Structure 1
């Protein structure tokens, strides 16, 4: 197997072009470096008959996508802070008995209803908080609302 330095010399320009095409000039150098770091680790296991350029282009494409994804998750500086969303209305202001009714729900139902309908969290985040799946979190919220309706019905008849 030829020295890795020769591989870098022979294919470095092609890899840089791929990186520039995928993530642009600003992040291309980082993607190029990440490509060759990954390639260096895997190079000893590369079959002798492998197409080295295609192998490197595949790695470059993946590393460039990783860097692009990381860039999209970074905060973007702005001159002004965005407006804060309006606070959610306190449901107890409309119906003071709501907190009592919520307290009577089973724990997971109460939490799912509170997290989704009061705090506005999506079911994927609720699932992480409750230690279950998004489907189970959705079911707990639905069951909680059904139970709340029954509690209100019972309270109205009393």
Structure 2
């Protein structure tokens, strides 16, 4: 059941990341960061050599979205990519599985670093949800960007909680 919940969490997170890219009115310049978020998250959850590839994809996308002119064009912020990478790394590098215990079906094994990742994920989710409060988002574009970030943050926090 635990593996099913984790798989559902990954699928929901990837769907939340891809949803804005699939909207018919989305400009091509605004689509690629969503695709990279979904790809990076999926790769990171496969574990092994896929984890560094996912983290590298997320950090590269964050770097490409980092300049003010690119942020205005893509509508994304570097901190979303960095926090996603941080959560993937913290939950992947945990205390080793005790001898005789079966290894988990995914790359996350619990431990003290996962607890730190959960605190970061919940704080990230709350910070993004604050931007959705009435009066904080003046236009629809900013509102959809913050909703996407809040959904991704909540999804990552949920998956981190499952790793405990």
What band does the TM-score fall into relative to the shorter chain?
A: under 0.3
Of structures 1 and 2, the one with the larger relative CO (CA 8 A, separation 6+) is 2
TM-score normalised by the chain length of structure 1: 0.23
TM-score, with length taken from structure 2: 0.22
Max Rg structure: 1
